[in-house]
Structure 1
Amino acid sequence: MNGLANAQPLLQVDDLRVSLPTARGWAQALRGVSWRMERGQTVGLIGESGSGKSLTALALMGLLPERARVSGSIALQGQQLVGMPEPQLCQLRGARMAMVFQEPMTALNPLHPIWKQIAEPLRLHQGLGVREAKARALHLLERVQLPRARERLQAYPHELSGGQRQRVMIAIALACGPELLIADEPTTALDVTVQKEVLTLIQQLVREDGMGLLLISHDLGLMQDQVERVMVMYGGAVVESAATPELFAHRAHPYTRGLFAARARLGLARGTRLTTIPGSVPELMDFPAGCAFAERCSWAVEDCRQTPPLAENIEHEAAGERPHVVSCPRWRLP
């Protein structure tokens, strides 16, 4: 790789906007999302259901609904993905970028044994024969620590537990050694012990292969343990972004503060009611013209509802080289 390529980030997203058709007209589902990721970096994307996290992942993978309108830029190692023809995207998906989906039982094909599903990207992208692809599938299952991997090559998804199916999904995603791995709520359906095993496995594989990881979740504790940088998303926009320790120590946006205040904490007296964020995430067509969080925010003034907030760098001793960014002009309020 030449010096120019080395200078490029693994992923550069600039002013990404996605509009979707609804019964009430076109709704803006992503509203100017921007960030960058270096090779080997782990980034978390957090927010309530409906905030745009999974839609962002689908936009990166080129898997948006057929009628979606997309503008802005998504560059993978300098290669522009927005507007790329589907045949070219198919060459990238599974080869240079891959995704671990939220629910493996719906992502895996119930009609094929798992070895064939792991072998498929190897045959498509690397031209391996059946015997070689099957051997590689076994190696990948062993790498993701599936118990009795050789015996389970011929197993179908319904014959495996939730944690085992998730390991198969990870094996499929890693088959061709992608540069970017997107994990969308990869432990939602798993019990706590298996969650920890799966997350530890993903971290180990990311370190070994030097790929970038985008981890999507609604779990703040998971983000604190698993990623180097956190982006907080609401209403289709990133409202705050910082290195993980800085975000946990100096949360600024009222939405971020609300998420942290709503966490369950050890030591609370029995019967203590948890703090909640008033209201709920509006329908896409009902967001105000300005800040998407304005209708639920106790700090909002009329200008917040009318004027989109600008991103502002927060300077504090722990900020380091990468800035702590917040999109709220009133973040200084106590």
Structure 2
Amino acid sequence: MRMDLARLIPAAEAIPSPWGWFEALLLLTFVLHVLFMNLTVGSAVIALAGRFTGRQRELARELGHRLPTTLALQINMGVAPLLFVQVLYGQFLYTSSVLMAGWWLSAIAAVILGYYCLYIHDAKFESAPMFSRLALALSLVMLLFTGFLLSNNMTLMLRPEAWTVYATNPGGSFLNLSDRTLWPRYAHMLVAAPAVAGLYVALIGAKKRRLDWEEHGLAWFTRLTMAQFAVGVWLLMALPQPVLLAFMGRDPLSTGLLMAGILAGLAALVAGLKKWTGAAVWLTLVAVAFMAATRAQVRSLTLAPYFTPASLKVTGDNSPFLVFAVALLLGLGAVAYMLKAYARSSGVKPAGRG
């Protein structure tokens, strides 16, 4: 049966440089993307909750004003990791994208609509409150829909056994709904977003000397981080048995990454409960990095029966990689400068400054 499934997988393309460099850049850029995704989606959740409950209206106004910026950064930071996945696992990602092509292409329209609605929410906050709230709700729905499609694609690419559906559904309307890992994986990202955004709110509150904002943000962070541990267990138990056993001690690297992520998350939770905002922020960054590496390990272990990026042919032409590396460094420097300037104009000092 495995040989039959192997025939469904297209031939891999050669890569210009050793695969480890691309894997490292994939992890780095994915962490950046997921942080901005958490800020955007989570801030939208917190702002929307504030708008409909009538509490923390000023905070909702502050977050609403920042949301178009964080979404723009989220989108831009999401391009690079998607390209690196295509470089290393293109034969899998392209196939899954074709199987769900109609849905996959609809994500473009969803993001554009969601982006536009964020501007409406900000612009109409005072003059048309109900319209503004509805715009924010619609934007959040579009962002959640896009994330759901991404989860579908990223799980479907790991299931060559599901690709036979093309024989009965060649129209690009397939969704990976029968995958046991889809829903916990989506929930894992969904719960993380307002938790991380809660830290963002707490940081804003600390810098603006708004104790009520800081406490409100830490409440979001601590409560949802507790829930995140339960979702994480759900996701772990949903993994295929060989992958699960690898994280249960059979593979030292996989087990170490998982345990490091859990310990960092627990430490961040303790810091949040003790209202050590700065420490909670840094520990959460460490936890996110370890969880991104754990996610990459899940992908590697799941595809191991069919493929490993170490088997990719290397052409030795390093010039594209070097050009990208230089562009990445310049781009990150430009983004850091813009964020610093934006924080200064908003009256918020960057994290780590007094």
Q: Same fold, TM exceeding 0.5?
A: no
Normalising by structure 1, report the TM-score: 0.31
Looking at secondary structure, tell me which structure has more strand per residue. Answer: 1
Looking at secondary structure, tell me which structure has more helix per residue. Answer: 2
